[in-house]
Chains A and B, each alone.
Chain A
Amino acid sequence: MQKSDVLIIGAGAAGGVAAAALAGAGVSVTCLEQGDWPTPADYPAPRRSYELEARKQWSASPNVRALDVDYPIDDEESDIVPLMYAGVGGSMTLYAADWPRLLPSDFRVRSLDGVADDWPVDYAELLPYYEKTDRAYGISGVAGDPAYPAGEDPPLPPLPIGAGAMKVARAHDRLGWHWWPASQAVLSAPYKGRRPCVQYGACMQGCPEGAKASTDVTHWQGAIANGAQLITHARVSRILVNSRGLAIGAEFVRPDGTWDAAKADVVLLAANAVGTPRILLNSAGPGWPDGLANSSGQLGKRLMVHPFANVMGYFDEPLQSWNGHVGAKITCYEFYETDLDRGFVRGAKWSLAPTGGPLNAALPTRAGSAVFGSGHHQHVREHLGRTVSWGIFGEDLPDERNTVTLDPTLVDSSGIPAPRISYKVGENSRKLLDFHIERAAQSVSEAGAYKVASEALMRYSGWHLLGTARMGADPATSVVDPWCRSHDIPNLYIIDGSVFVTSGGVNPTSTISALALRAAEHLAAAGSAQQVPA
């Protein structure tokens, strides 16, 4: 295999953004992706069986899906189950496409609130990258949200919010609370050759229209046109390092069991905050017995997953709340910033979501219950199309006891050691969620809900995997520097959510994309200043 300037491991959000930027700058790029290209015709949205398939082959849990390309995860010791997808586009294939940015205070929690650590970058520094990635993905939204500093307008107008969200918006108007039409990585109009949303309400099982942004439809075609080589079904076992302590490539295995290696001057890891530490821990050698790039001892620690609660309001009138984009109709940042009178620090963003079709009314995956027998039909009618759900993402403070390690016995189908997740919801998070559940119940009650149901913690909610190779200026306490480069291995970069210093309280894909673009542009500009193997 021909040596490349840059080898990227993982073709998801971070890998796709970096590949497009580097290939566009004339850098030769090879990417190893464990999964395959998605086939939009396979997505279940138009099928009657969609809600059945969503609970197995289109589940976001690799353990539930158990596809050949998935690796198993030992999550028995975790309060939250990690969710992800293997394939070109990565977990964007199944994400909700809610598209908030971190807020300015999220980068300064130590300075402002005395907890965790400040980031070595700030909101203003990331802003141009947020705006570039917004244009690349085609973000729909409304300019002027006072929850954020001023900036460039979203490239597309907002998606419809629906009758349920209008009721809640009017309620927040009466309460004097913040709300805003949610920014979404879903097209409201044709954009760069892609078709707009047709409101299937099934974003989280793949978008058959290609209206939902994922790098397989937004970045990879351009990267490949500029010469990037994307190798699918290539499962990486370890990073290879030479005697000078420089990365020289990665070893991988194909589905037929044949092993190979890809060589490069620079290696970028973009395999998410579970997959990346797994590969680095599996890359342990005589010079780095605790895993590659782990002289700080921080690799695999400080896993953050955004403990998720939800509150559902039941309304008398039909709202067709199965309809439209799934991520969020509207958002609320009224209680995002710290107020010490609440008994905890930091806060949460709320996202008002639709509540699914008839199977979800009968067997709810969020708040609510199943009723069978004589009360079944009334119960389903109360839920189906007459409910709205506030999803509450609370800031998850880093804790070194929340970890990704290698399981001593579990391996994937290639015999590569699999990850084990140990994660417990912290006291601050619990208090935070309890407070926000009460306020969200007040919100839907003010909107006219005659009944409110809540779920204090949703176990299958580990969509946001963050923090296991944190960024920082000090090599003693962080894995990568402010440009996402390993402190230990000067030609190894980590560009996924692993590098988050803190989690914020918002969906992270816009920030993951912005950080990856910033790192890639910096690398492309480095030229001969970047140390490479001979």
Chain B
Amino acid sequence: MSDLHDWLVAIADTLIPAADGMPAASEVDIAGTALKAVLTARPDLERHLARAFMLAGDIDKPQEALDSLQQLDAAAYEAILMIVTGGYYMNSRVRELLGYTGQQPQPVRIGEIPEYVSEGLLDRVMARGPRYRDPEVKSVHN
């Protein structure tokens, strides 16, 4: 396969195919906008991608290309995994399908009584007594 874009798409769909209600990597433009976003955040990966394509770009079957790359150049192989997963999981649709709501600012609400207090859990921990060992008495308090 002579085209990096097509090669990466085939590799990516082998790693992350459509299944279980989730899109394939190719459906999120993994070798286009997603790749650009990954390389903007991690320009160091570009070198490894180029090397991976040099080493395994002529292998038509994606799984064979991945297996070969893993044997020949572990760093390049790891970079391919990082590029594909990194690009895929930055995609808005993918995040929405997963229900991922992380990295959004959510102020801490203090003043609410934590469940562990209302359920009496801390009282029972304290009732079991000190856990620390007093060096002066050389015995465990429990």
Q: Chain A 311-345 against B: per-residue CB contact (8 Å), 1 yes, 0 no?
A: 00000001010110000000001101111000000
In-complex Cβ contact of B132 among A46, A144, A149, A160 (8 A): A149
In-complex Cβ contact of A158 among B82, B88, B94, B114 (8 A): B114
Asked if A104 and B85 make an inter-chain contact with CB atoms under 8 angstroms apart, the answer reads no
Which B-chain residue is minimally distant from A372 (CB atoms)?
B15
Q: How far is the CA of A142 from the CA of B86 in the complex (A)?
A: 38
Least Cβ–Cβ distance between A151 and chain B, in angstroms: 12
Contact A200-B114, Cβ < 8 Å, known A104-B133, A381-B20: no
Least Cβ–Cβ distance between A171 and chain B, in angstroms: 11
Q: Chain B 118-134 against A: per-residue CB contact (8 Å), 1 yes, 0 no?
A: 01011011101111111
Asked if B85 and A199 make an inter-chain contact with CB atoms under 8 angstroms apart, the answer reads no
B3 within 8 A of partner (CB): no
Residues of A within 8 A of B105 (CB): 46, 198-200, 209
In-complex Cβ contact of B108 among A142, A160, A372 (8 A): A160
Contact A357-B138, Cβ < 8 Å, known A112-B133, A196-B108, A378-B20: no
Contact A146-B100, Cβ < 8 Å, known A337-B140, A376-B16: no
Stretch at the interface among A30-38, A49-57, A260-268: A49-57
Asked if A202 and B103 make an inter-chain contact with CB atoms under 8 angstroms apart, the answer reads yes
Q: How far is the CA of A52 from the CA of B87 in the complex (A)?
A: 9
Chain A, interface residues (CB within 8 Å), range:
35 or more
Residues of A within 8 A of B71 (CB): none
B16, B81, B90, B102 interface centre (most CB from chain A within 10 Å): B102
Which B-chain residue is minimally distant from A163 (CB atoms)?
B115
Least Cβ–Cβ distance between B20 and chain A, in angstroms: 4
Residues on A lying within 8 angstroms of B by beta carbon are 45-53, 55-56, 103-105, 107-108, 111-112, 122, 142, 144, 146-149, 157-161, 166, 169-170, 173, 176, 178-181, 188-189, 196-202, 209, 318, 320, 322-323, 333-334, 336-339, 357-359, 362-363, 370, 372-374, 376-378, 380-381, 384-385
In the assembled complex, 29 residue pairs joining A and B whose CB atoms fall closer than 8 Å, in A order, are A47-B41, A52-B90, A103-B133, A104-B133, A112-B138, A144-B122, A144-B126, A146-B131, A166-B115, A169-B121, A178-B125, A189-B110, A197-B108, A198-B105, A199-B105, A209-B105, A320-B101, A336-B132, A337-B131, A337-B140, A338-B133, A358-B95, A370-B81, A372-B14, A377-B16, A377-B22, A378-B19, A378-B20, A381-B20
